[in-house]
Structure formats: structure tokens, C-alpha cells
Chain A
Amino acid sequence: MDCTTYIEKYLSAHVDGELSGEELRDAEVHLAGCVNCRARFAEERAVKALLRERAAMLRTPPMVRGSILAALDAIDSADAPKGATRGRDRSGGADRGGWLTMRRARIWVPAALAAMLVFAFVILHGGSGTTPAQAIPPFDVAIDNYKQFVDHFEPNIKSTAPADISDAYMEHELPGFVWNFQRVGYKLIGGRVDHLTDGTPVAYTFYRGDNGTILCTYMKSHGLQPPPGELQQPDQPSGYAGVHHYYQYKGYRVCLSYPRSGCICILVTRQPMQEFIQDIVDSQP
């Protein structure tokens, strides 16, 4: 390993204790033989310590703290007569769920069939990591829905405010993150929560731009591992929650990630650009 490689690729992670196995061994071998990089290591550690010690940790102003505690009290007393939060959650959920299930049964048969396949798939292949690349049912579900949404997307979350969409997703124990594709020219059209045939929730967020559309699908993963056939993405060690896996699948660009434990995120777009989704991911603040 040369000094440039060490400094650019290893130094920070080394100081942060984020190297392991072979990487850590390589880094230590290099440091042992290089006085300059040892000095750099010490400096990097000093910068880190400096930030920790000197970057101001602000105290929450008493007024702000007070109004937060008062708002918590308000939630407690609103919940109390109905027996904590359960009553409220259940009535809201049943309402939405019933309406959705009915609509789904009539309009979305292909998606429902595909959804059954998802579970057959994850039961058979989940966790094995040796899935054949030709059939990836969760991708099929996402693409199936994408095709229908391109013609007609009907949000069932009343608000189009990202915060409200996020709330609705979190109520179904799905990720509360709503992608912001404005910077690459895609407008948020709305959000939709449905239920798969086994009752688990799935969320769709749809975006439209001048050049095309993007669909973000959240669903429970049931141990689904990234299927083989991944496009080469440099610099992304595998096995972590935040890794994005890119595929070219049935003519679509697909990006698979794990935004929170037990859930997968599948982004689908038709844009042919090689690095399209990567650009979007990189444009996130």
C-alpha cells in the first residue's frame, strides 16, 4: 500500500476504528513502516478529538424544552381515555386498511399475485444468497406497480406533504424516509399504503419529472438478501444496512437498499442513464 492509498482510503476509517480483518492488517503494516503516515494518523486523531471537545453541544433552551414537555402531556391526556395509543391506531388503521384491501382486490390483481410470489420466494430463498437472477419477485412487484403507476397513480395518503406521508408510513412500521428527488428534477406526486395478501403493509411513493418517473417501494423484507447479478459499484463493502445494490432488471434500473431493519426499499426507474440512481443517491444531503 502506498501513502496516497492509505491517506485517501484508510486513514479516517482507521482512526474511527472502522477497519477490520484484512483492511486493518494492511493499514497497520503500512503505518508500522511509514513515519509520515504515522504523523498523519496522529493529526487526524487530533482533529477528531478537537471536534469532540470543542464543537459546541448546545443546551436546549428552557422555553423549547418546556413546550416539548407540554406537547408530550397533551399527547398523554389525548390518549388516556381511549386506553393509551392502541385505540387510536386501530381505528385509523382499520379504516385505511379496509378501503385499500377492497380497491386492491378489484384493480390490482397482478400485483396481488406477484405479492404471493414474493413470499413464496423469500421462504424458499431468503437468506441463502444463491438466488437465480432471472426471477426476483420483489423486483417484479415493484416493476409491475411501476408500470401501472406510470399511467395512473392514485395516492391514498390525503396529504402530499412529505412529513404526512412519512407519518403514514411509520404508522405501518415502514421507513419514515421520503426521498427528495427535486434536485434531479422529479416532483413528488404522492404516497400510497397498501397491504400484501398476507396483510403486511407496502408503501409506494411516486415521482414524476420531465424525462420520466421514479417509484419507491417499501416493504417488509423477511430476510431477503441482495440477489446476484448486481451491477458493479466501486467502494461499497457489502453486508451493511445502508448499502445500495444496483440492478438492470427486465429493462428497468432497480436500486435495492435496507433503510431500516426488516424492511427493503426498491427504487425503480426507466431512465437509461448509467449512473442515474447513483446520482440521486449522491444528491441526498
Chain B
Amino acid sequence: MADKSGTGADRRKRFEDEALPHLDALYSMAIRLARNPDDANDLLQETVLRAYRFFHQFESGTNCRAWMLTILFNNFRNGYRKSTREQPASSADEFERKVETESLRLDPAGSNPEALLAGQGMEGEVETALASLPDEFRQAVLLVDVEELSYQEVSGVLNVAIGTIKSRVSRGRAMLRERLTGFAKEQGIIRS
């Protein structure tokens, strides 16, 4: 059990170089999983601290984002969705409202407008369509299309067989296509 992390200062530097650049990706996933900013913050913090403690187990040269997402999903599922503060948003609209409220609260100057999930136009449509998918399809699609993981990496993150990932991506994208087709055509992304 070699301590590959070296000295404390060494470990911190490696962690900041390799792991922390994925913080926004983790935060985005956390907020979509928890559907509630307070729980998302807890989930993110727990994930990063755990990744730091176990950073000596990370194999250099493998995908650090996938490794951290695995810890994030483990934490999320291991938490058995206790959701101590409040119930998760019950609908896509409510989810967007919550995120918007939270973003405004944390960023009152509006210096970070792109962070608002409930943006205008297409961003809002994409977010609404995503939020309306059943969890298992949404997670698979987000990990493949937004986080850009391979099926094998997603299989590791979700601890689900790769054949299942394949069919979840396929079905999830089919649902999204159906929900987004009108807008995609308007925007000229899909030809009518």
C-alpha cells in the first residue's frame, strides 16, 4: 500500500492540478442529482474531501473526472437520499426555480449569468427536457454527452452493466429527441 501521494504539500498540489479542475463538472452533476442546492453543496463537499483523503488510490493517467464522478455517485447513493432539509423538486419547473433562486442568492451581482440554468431560449428548453427524464436515463445521458465519459467509464461510475448503459443512453436520447425536436428545427439544428 505505497503512499503515492507523497508529502502533504505534494498531495495538495497534485490534487489541485489534477482533481480541482473538475470541480465545476462535479458541481453541475451534484446539482442535477440532488435537485436542491443545499444538498448539492453537501454532496459536492463530501465528494471532494473524500477524493482528497483517498487521492493516493487514484491511478495517475486514468480519467480523474470519471474517478471523482464515481465517488460522487457513490456518495449520492450511499446517502440513500436522506434529503434532510427538504424534498427534492417534484417537477422540472420547480427545479429550475430553485436553481435560479439559489444562483441569484449566491451571485447577487449577476456577474455570472451563464450559471443560471433557467436561461432564455434553448438552454431553458434543454434543461427542462433533461429534468423531465427518469433518473436512470438522465444520468446515463449526462455522463456520456455532457461529462463526455465512455460507456465503460459510465458503467464504472454507475456500477451498472455496460449493456444497460447502452440501452439507457439510447432510450434517454430518444426521449430527448422527441422533446427537443420542435426547438431543434426552429433553431435549424435539425432539418425538417
Hey, which bits of chain A sit against chain B, CB under 8 A? 8-9, 11-13, 16, 18, 43-44, 46-52, 54-65, 67-68, 71-72, 75-76, 79-80, 84-86, 162-163, 165-167, 170-171, 173, 176-178, 180, 182, 233-237, 240-244, 257, 259-261, 281-282, 284-285
Contact = CB atoms under 8 A, between A and B. Distances in A.
Given A84-B11, A236-B161, A57 B24 contact: yes
A63 B102 CA distance: 12
B28 A48 contact: no
Contacts of A75: 49, 52-53
B81 to A, nearest CB: 9
A56 B28 contact: yes
Nearest to B33: A285
Given A59-B112, A178-B74, A233-B163, 11 more contacts: A47-B177, A50-B184, A55-B145, A71-B45, A80-B8, A163-B75, A176-B70, A176-B78, A177-B74, A240-B162, A260-B70
Interface in B109-159: 112, 114-117, 119, 122-123, 126-127, 130, 135-136, 139, 141-142, 144-146, 148, 150-152, 155-156, 158-159
Most buried by A among B59, B103, B161, B165: B161
Most buried by A among B50, B117, B163, B169: B163
Contact of A242 (B46, B159, B184): B159
B126 A13 contact: no
Contact of B146 (A57, A76, A165, A173): A57
Interface string B5-46: 111110110010000000111011001000000000100111
B106 A47 contact: no
Contacts of A285: 77, 135-136, 139, 158
Interface residues of B, number: 84
Query: Interface majority SS on B: helix, strand, loop or mixed?
Result: helix
A75 B112 CA distance: 30
Nearest to A176: B74
A24 to B, nearest CB: 14
Interface string B59-84: 10000000000110011011110000
Contacts of B148: 52
A281 B74 contact: no
Contacts of B164: 235-236, 281-282
Nearest to B47: A68
Nearest to A60: B27
A68 B22 CA distance: 13
Contact of B151 (A16, A84, A170): A16
B166 interface: yes
13 contacts: A16-B151, A44-B173, A52-B145, A54-B122, A55-B146, A62-B106, A162-B80, A167-B50, A233-B161, A236-B161, A284-B77, A284-B159, A285-B135
Nearest to B181: A43
B186 interface: no
Contacts of B50: 167, 170, 176
Contacts of A80: 8
Given A64-B45, A72-B49, A260-B156, A79 B151 contact: no
B12 A72 contact: yes
